[in-house]
């Protein structure tokens, strides 16, 4: 178990959240509804629902919103049938991209995703056309002040995690998907709820980008994220600190 891997979390979900609060809440509610329907509508007996509620809490969603979403799912007040779909393709500079969606209209979502790729120099492929370049892992993140690097490493190892990466910003813990619930619960008992806890796609290799390709890629990721149906986007890009500083200045 390595203490500091080079894996960077590139789930493109945290940008400009304050400006997209309503849209983010909508996506979180959709995940809560699907999670509640996938098992018992009780968080302590439904790991996916527990993770969805934790994500809603981290986004400062009011508890009433969460409770209403669970009630809608379990009480039959909402008969919307959401389908989980994964899209895969290549973006600017040959970056591999995985898009995960929850939709009640497959044709609408496919059209939106395809249009985004086409507009910004990407190409949508078939299922499994790029996912072989990623590993499916459980991902948890904590802020730096949750624990020291050594304490977090030891706790994660004891919980059954595979890897811990600590940076000045925080800790990222990865584990096998089958161990995700146990690792999350063990760390939550010790350090409180993580900032993020989800199944994620870990790139096996990274694609370095120049500034032009990085600029276009971020436009594509933002366009995908603007879709109400898109829940998560992962990509295997690597952008230097120098370029990132210019892009975010």
Secondary structure element (H or E) that encloses residue 102, with its range = strand 96-103
Asked if residue 217 and residue 128 are part of one domain, the reply reads yes
Residue 11 lies in a domain: no
pLDDT tens per residue across span 182-208 = 999 999 999 998 888 888 999 999 999
CA–CA distance from 188 to each of 140, 167, 197 (Å)?
10, 20, 10
On average, the pLDDT of the chain sits at 87
DSSP summary character for residue 168: T
Residue 11 has pLDDT above 50, yes or no: no
The tokens for 70 are 């669970």
Contact 201, 134 (CB under 8 A): yes
User: Which tops the pLDDT comparison, 172 or 57?
Assistant: 172
Domain containing residue 92: 83-132+206-248
d(CA 22, CA 29): 10
* CATH classification at residue 63: 1.10.10.200
Closest listed residue to residue 176, CA positions, set 189, 188, 159, 191: 159
Secondary structure element (H or E) that encloses residue 175, with its range = strand 170-175
Asked if residue 101 and residue 45 are part of one domain, the reply reads no
Contact 140, 184 (CB under 8 A): yes
Asked if residue 99 and residue 50 are part of one domain, the reply reads no
Indicate the pLDDT class of residue 76, thresholds 50, 70 and 90: low
- Of 75, 101, 121, the one marking the end of a domain is 75
Asked if residue 121 and residue 213 are part of one domain, the reply reads yes
Contact 130, 96 (CB under 8 A): yes
What is the model's pTM?
0.83
How confident is the model at residue 17, as a pLDDT? Answer: 46
Indicate the pLDDT class of residue 153, thresholds 50, 70 and 90: very high
Asked if residue 227 and residue 118 are part of one domain, the reply reads yes
Residue 43 lies in a domain: yes
* CATH classification at residue 228: 3.30.70.980
Number of domains in the chain: 3
Least confident of 26-35, 68-77, 167-176: 68-77
Residue 14 has pLDDT above 60, yes or no: no
């Amino acid at each position: 178990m390595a203490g500091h891997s080079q894996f960077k979390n590139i789930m493109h979900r945290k940008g400009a959240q304050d400006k997209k609060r309503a849209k983010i809440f909508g996506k979180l509610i959709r995940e809560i509804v699907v999670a509640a329907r996938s098992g018992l509508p009780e968080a302590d007996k439904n790991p996916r629902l527990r993770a969805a509620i934790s994500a809603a809490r981290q986004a400062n969603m009011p508890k009433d919103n969460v409770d209403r979403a669970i009630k809608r799912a379990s009480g039959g007040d909402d008969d919307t049938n959401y389908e989980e779909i994964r899209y895969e393709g290549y973006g600017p500079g040959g970056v591999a991209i995985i898009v995960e969606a929850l939709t009640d209209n497959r044709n609408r979502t496919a059209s939106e995703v395809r249009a985004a790729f086409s507009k910004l120099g990407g190409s949508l492929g078939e299922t499994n056309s790029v996912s072989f370049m990623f590993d499916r892992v459980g991902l948890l993140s904590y802020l730096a002040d949750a624990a020291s690097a050594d304490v977090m490493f030891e706790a994660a190892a004891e919980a059954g995690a595979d890897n811990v990466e600590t940076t000045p910003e925080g800790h990222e813990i990865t584990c096998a998907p089958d161990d995700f619930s146990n690792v999350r619960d063990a760390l939550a008992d010790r350090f409180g709820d993580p900032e993020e806890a989800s199944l994620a796609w870990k790139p096996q290799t990274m694609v370095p980008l120049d500034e032009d390709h990085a600029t276009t890629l971020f436009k594509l990721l933002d366009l995908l994220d603007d879709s109400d149906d898109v829940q998560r986007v992962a990509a295997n890009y690597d952008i230097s600190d120098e370029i990132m500083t210019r892009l975010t200045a």
